[in-house]
Amino acid sequence: MRLSRYFLPILRETPKEAQIVSHRLMLRAGMIRQETAGIYAWLPLGHRVLTKICNIIREEQDRAGAVELLMPTIQPADLWRESGRYDDYGKEMLRIQDRHERDMLFGPTNEEMITEIFRGSARSYKDLPLNLYHIQWKFRDEVRPRFGVMRSREFLMKDAYSFDLDVASSVHSYNQMFAAYLRTFARLGLKAIPMRADTGPIGGKLSHEFIILASTGESEVFCHKDFLGYEAPPESTPFEDRAAMQSLFDHWTAKYAATSEMHDETAWSKIPEAERVTARGIEVGHIFHFGTKYSEPMKAVVNGPDGKEVPVQMGSYGIGPSRLAAAIIEASHDENGIIWPDAVAPFHVGIANLKAGDAATDAACVDLYAKLGRTGLDVLYDDRDERPGAKFATLDLIGLPWQVVIGPKGLAEGKIELKNRRTGLKDTLSPDEVFNKLQQFSQTMAKQA
């Protein structure tokens, strides 16, 4: 993409309403624009990041055996009257009426609807296990939206719902999602720690929150230091192997980890001081096993092998991609701007043309831009007629992993510069050497996916 033809409304000054670093940087980098309280438009750069996050989530959901569909944002109230949550949910639910004065709502979550879809078609235990997910906009009319897309009213959520015949297989479904989440967050460049969670209004017994550590996190968290060294499950994880999934789960939940709501001072005090980690955290995922909470009232039943009808065992599994975009920035930035992990960077490489209009410089830029494009890398070519300083500042702000700096001075000696945004290390190389290094990077990226 040529920057001169892109839409990247960078702000030099920080809008005063933005308090936390991710909000400030997202606004300054032209990723989002607030339309009203807690509701944001995703501008091109932000949209690219959001799309990449969603695609990684999607790949890992699919790998774990979940199946994608898409449910609507608007739901009929009657569905929620069946589960009893129409009255329970309170003012967080945005309630609306259509022209026939039928009660509708903008979905804050989809347990009722997925249960309705399931019961409409599934009749037999042979239809199980089943895990359906979608990535769709949700609306929760928060009393006080804040922190940009971190706590917005409208937000994107991946929500998966599992259906099983009995508790044991339902726990296996839970474990599969547990492992999928660990992989997902690791691929997003995040260190996420699962913590036992309160089940809240969704209900159920078994529940974990996935928390990433960030100094600006909203809640205080407590965990054993061993978590910091745990490796996410590999691509070869045997998702169908019940015993293997259970031991993976057991391994990840053996040590102490809790948010402040679930914190147990007695258990905590038994851990040696040197092994305790107290930090701030951001919740980026939440999974629940809630049994028959919805299947029973909503009559989502199947015939078992014995011919008897049984309500299915269910669980739900949520990740907020829009919140993740902000959370990643909270966990990865410096004073100059964002530092994107490779996998979610809106572009992998930024080429700064230090003297647009200079024939030799233009030619060198265009040549590298075209060649890199053919490797499959996403390249942003800053071909604007701006001063070098402005281009460096822009590239640092938007946080692309690699910066290629091409100017007449270096070119006179056949050299251009390759800078790594994260380390800040700069290499002065020939254009071919830069191309080879980035091609290598491209191949490494492809392997990680």
Partner RNA sequence: CGGGGCAUAGCGCAGCCCGGUAGCGCAUCUGCUUUGGGAGCAGAGGGUCGCAAGUUCGAAUCUUGCUGCCCCGACCA
* Closest approach of RNA to the CB of residue 195, in Å: 11
* Closest approach of RNA to the CB of residue 418, in Å: 10
Residue 293 CA to residue 348 CA, distance in Å, equals 45
Residue 131 CA to residue 159 CA, distance in Å, equals 10
Q: According to the binding rule CB under 7 A, does residue 322 interact with RNA?
A: yes
Reference 163, options 118, 205, 100; nearest CA is 118
Query: Per-residue string for binding with RNA, 36-75, x by CB under 7 A?
Result: xxx-------------------------------------
Q: According to the binding rule CB under 7 A, does residue 319 interact with RNA?
A: yes
Q: According to the binding rule CB under 7 A, does residue 194 interact with RNA?
A: no
Q: Do 86 and 113 form a contact (C-beta atoms < 8 A)?
A: no
Residue 80 CA to residue 323 CA, distance in Å, equals 26
Q: Cis link prior to 9 (omega < 30° from 0)?
A: no
What is the maximum span of the chain, computed from C-alpha positions, in angstroms?
82
Segment 100 to 139, residues that bind RNA, using CB under 7 A: none
Query: Per-residue string for binding with RNA, 390-429, x by CB under 7 A?
Result: x-xxx-xx-------xxxxxxx----xx-x----------
Q: Which of 67, 81, 124, 200 binds RNA (CB under 7 A)?
A: 200
Long-range contacts of 358-365 (CB under 8 A, 24+ apart): 358/408, 360/408, 360/411, 361/406, 361/407, 361/408, 361/411, 364/406, 364/411, 364/416, 364/431, 365/406
Between 119 and 151, name the residue whose CB sits nearer to RNA. Answer: 151
Segment 84 to 103, residues that bind RNA, using CB under 7 A: 91
Segment 247 to 286, residues that bind RNA, using CB under 7 A: 283-286
Tell how strand 67-68 and strand 337-338 pair up: unpaired
Q: According to the binding rule CB under 7 A, does residue 146 interact with RNA?
A: yes
Q: According to the binding rule CB under 7 A, does residue 389 interact with RNA?
A: yes
* Closest approach of RNA to the CB of residue 242, in Å: 27
Q: Given the structure tokens 């629940």, which residue do they identify?
A: 288
Q: Which of 82, 141, 218, 220 binds RNA (CB under 7 A)?
A: 218
Between 118 and 155, name the residue whose CB sits nearer to RNA. Answer: 155
DSSP 424-439: --EEEE-HHHHHHHHH
Between 169 and 199, name the residue whose CB sits nearer to RNA. Answer: 199
Residue 228 CA to residue 350 CA, distance in Å, equals 32
Q: Which residues of this chain interact with RNA, rule CB under 7 A? A: 10-17, 19, 34, 36-38, 91, 140, 142-147, 149-153, 155, 157, 198, 200-202, 209, 218-219, 283-286, 318-320, 322-323, 336, 354-355, 357, 385-390, 392-394, 396-397, 405-411, 416-417, 419
